Amino acid sequence: MSSLRRRKPINESSDSKHKAEEEDEDHDDVDADGDDDVNGKNKKTPSKIKKKRGEKPPKQPKWSCMDTCCWFIGCICITWWLLLFLYNAMPASFPQYVTEAITGPLPDPPGVKLKKEGLEAKHPVVFVPGIVTGGLELWEGRECAEGLFRKRLWGGTFGEVYKRPLCWVEHMSLDNETGLDPCGIRVRPVSGLVAADYFAPGYFVWAVLIANLARIGYEDKTMYMAAYDWRLSFQNTEVRDQTLSRIKSNIELLVATNGGRKVVVIPHSMGVLYFLHFMKWVEAPAPMGGGGGPDWCSKHIKAVVNIGGPFLGVPKAIAGLFSAEAKDIAVARALAPGFLDNDIFQFQTLQHVMRMSRTWDSTMSMIPRGGNTIWGGLDWSPEEGNSCAKKREKKNETQIADQAGSENAVCKAKSANYGRIISFGKDVAEAPSSDIERIDFRGAIKGHSAANTTCRDVWTEYHDMGFAGIKAVAEYKTYTADSLVDLLHFVAPKMMARGTAHFSYGVADNLDDPKYKHYKYWSNPLETRLPNAPDMEIYSLYGVGLPTERAYVYKLSPHAECSIPFKIDTSADDEDTCLRDGVYSVDGDETVPVLSAGFMCAKGWRGKTRFNPSGIRTYIREYNHLPPANLLEGRGTLSGAHVDIMGNFALIEDVIRIAAGASGEELGGDQVYSKIFNWSENINLQLDEEIPVHSSS
């Protein structure tokens, strides 16, 4: 008993000691977590009591809303590719069997049809892709781009967009001062026909046309893809990559190896402007030009077949540079208010897009050219009286002359002021010019920076304007083509300093002025002459029948200081004036208005003019848009949309006939559905060499 009595205190002390040690451990854990109150007492929480001594909490991965969105896009792409794989894995006859069961027998592709007629390959063909349709691959990059050597950053699968978006933006951007490669980064154009045959798996650009040309005998040695880095200014493609010299050499080689037959050049979209630049460069003396002499084009080019050419620019380019949006983006913002502008989750997509695209000098080649003379002023526009809904029928040259008496009476009563390309508010867009009180922004003093330090990751030039500069832009109320260039100089001075060194936007008074020998004028058809090549032909092929952006209603953005301060007012609608979701529309191919695509061939170059002194023959071929009859038809064989038209059977047939030796007259001359000839006559542009140019009103 005595021994038991002696052991009991020992057990109690050991138990108490053990409990004390446990309490000390808990106390240490709490102290380590810094959970003592002001009186020194422990604030124990169940989660912290369970932590082991010395164990650190797991590091949470840094995740942003942009990552989530990019992964979501990746999932959509993977699903699309899987469905595409399953479609291609079917027996070749099965899709055709299903389609013919629904729609009836399919017509022969143009290449098969023309081969049956006996057409064969004759003139070598040169393709000139447009902006964004050519592939770009990485040759040198930063640490974040490890393992991407010669992988496509643009075109193809776009895998790097959603796996490492900010790294991709960094490598796709150019230097904001020079417009060339940033230090330590080299992105170069993909070469060969694969450079622009498909933009992404299943989404063709040139592939259908190439395949149909192959059916009449064309092959790699008679076709050449003039790939270039579409981000650069046109002259800088020669400075950095010698691309213009390569095009010259390849055309000379094609002519020499094909029995002296001249080439047929087929530019698309911005490639039209790029090839205009090339034709002046190749004849200009070195070092600024290629030194080919004044008859180089006459010796080497049979025809230039322009597809969807923005000869006079596109208003859509203004929206992209001004607010990083166009109609589609504006509608998406309206459906999900604040989502694309939200800075809380570091999304800032539009800011990243703006910062990147403003380093691409090529985008400035598509700013509207010709000023108010071409695009209209506050109270007039060439397309005045345009109707949004009208039936189309093919017109021959006799019917074109009778178009003037067929104006729509309703649209005459209430017509859109298309000359006001940007208006702040629907009331301003519709008001008489005498009722608009404007405060000139050009001399406005920009205020203090509106952005705080959290915006630095996506710093845009708007953050340097401050609230005073932003207010000055809005108080000018409405902008015509003449004032748009000044507007861009005000909101994006670095971008426009580079842009105006490489591109021009006016109308020449005297083309003999020595200043027009500079390369900045070579891609502007209103400030340069066509080559001396009377046997050459120029075609303008483009789609019509689709609403195409022409003017915009803007408003100040109510969002936080890191956002883009201006956006399209999607609440502005008026069916009578073709206004929908804040965008005024006219006839075109969804990207290029008819006026820009057709004016030069309809009037500016037609016959012998000061812009076409040798009288090169010009033709307009329009293709009325018809949507696919069913889902199995894909993007349609009768589409007039800007890119989808590359699969239009009628257009492909025309191109093949020209390549096989047909002239414009043999093709049938002009094929017109729009009012391009009427609208061209509304433009008071003097075409005689001796008479100076005057603006119209």
CATH of the domain at 630: 3.40.50.1820
| Nearest to 681, CA basis, from 603, 576, 564 | 603
- Comparing 23-27, 323-327, 562-566, the range with the smallest average pLDDT is 23-27
Predicted confidence (pLDDT) per residue in 157-209, tens digit: 777 776 788 899 899 999 989 999 999 999 999 999 999 999 988 889 999 99
Instruction: Work out the average pLDDT over 358-376.
Output: 95
Instruction: State the number of CA atoms in the 13 A half-sphere of 171 facing the CB.
Output: 29
- Non-local CB neighbours of 450 within 8 Å, separated by 6+ positions: 462, 463, 465, 466, 467, 470, 561, 565
Q: What is the pLDDT, as a whole number, of residue 405?
A: 44
In angstroms, rounded to a whole number, what is the distance separating the alpha carbons of residues 596 and 524? 12
CA angle 288, 293, 299 (to 5 degrees): 130
Q: Is residue 378 part of a domain?
A: no
Residue 31 a catalytic site member: no
Q: Is residue 186 part of a domain?
A: no
Beta bridge partners, 548, equal: 586
Q: Are strands 537-544 and 617-624 parallel, antiparallel or unpaired?
A: parallel
Q: What is the pLDDT, as a whole number, of residue 459?
A: 55
In angstroms, rounded to a whole number, what is the distance separating the alpha carbons of residues 417 and 382? 10
Token pair listed for 178: 């020079």
Q: What is the pLDDT, as a whole number, of residue 351?
A: 78
Q: What is the pLDDT, as a whole number, of residue 394?
A: 55
Instruction: Work out the average pLDDT over 278-287.
Output: 96
pLDDT averaged over every residue in the chain = 82
Instruction: Work out the average pLDDT over 128-146.
Output: 93
- Residue 532 domain boundaries: 116-133+193-334+511-544+588-682
Number of neighbouring beta carbons within 10 Å of residue 309: 30
Choice among 589, 644, 654, 670 that is catalytic: 589
Token pair listed for 298: 């006459």
Residue 288's pLDDT band, with cuts at 50, 70 and 90, is: very high
Residue 457 a catalytic site member: no
Q: What is the pLDDT, as a whole number, of residue 75?
A: 83
Predicted confidence (pLDDT) per residue in 682-694, tens digit: 999 989 875 444 4
Number of domains in the chain: 1
Q: Is residue 537 part of a domain?
A: yes
Give how far Cα 125 sits from Cα of 121, 264, 300, Å: 10, 5, 12
Q: Is residue 14 part of a domain?
A: no
Choice among 269, 298, 483, 523 that is catalytic: 269
Secondary structure (DSSP) of 6-43: HHHHHHHHHHHHHHHHHHHHHHHHHHHTT-B-TTS-B-
Q: State yes or no: pLDDT of 402 exceeds 80.
A: no
Q: Is residue 44 part of a domain?
A: no
Highest mean pLDDT: which range of 80-84, 269-273, 342-346, 570-574: 269-273
Residue 269 a catalytic site member: yes
Burial class from Cβ neighbours inside 10 Å (0-12, 13-18, 19+) for residue 507 reads: buried
Predicted confidence (pLDDT) per residue in 217-238, tens digit: 999 999 999 999 999 999 999 9
Q: Is residue 215 part of a domain?
A: yes
Q: What is the pLDDT, as a whole number, of residue 563?
A: 75
Choice among 639, 642, 674, 680 that is catalytic: 642
Q: What is the pLDDT, as a whole number, of residue 559?
A: 59
Q: Is residue 242 part of a domain?
A: yes
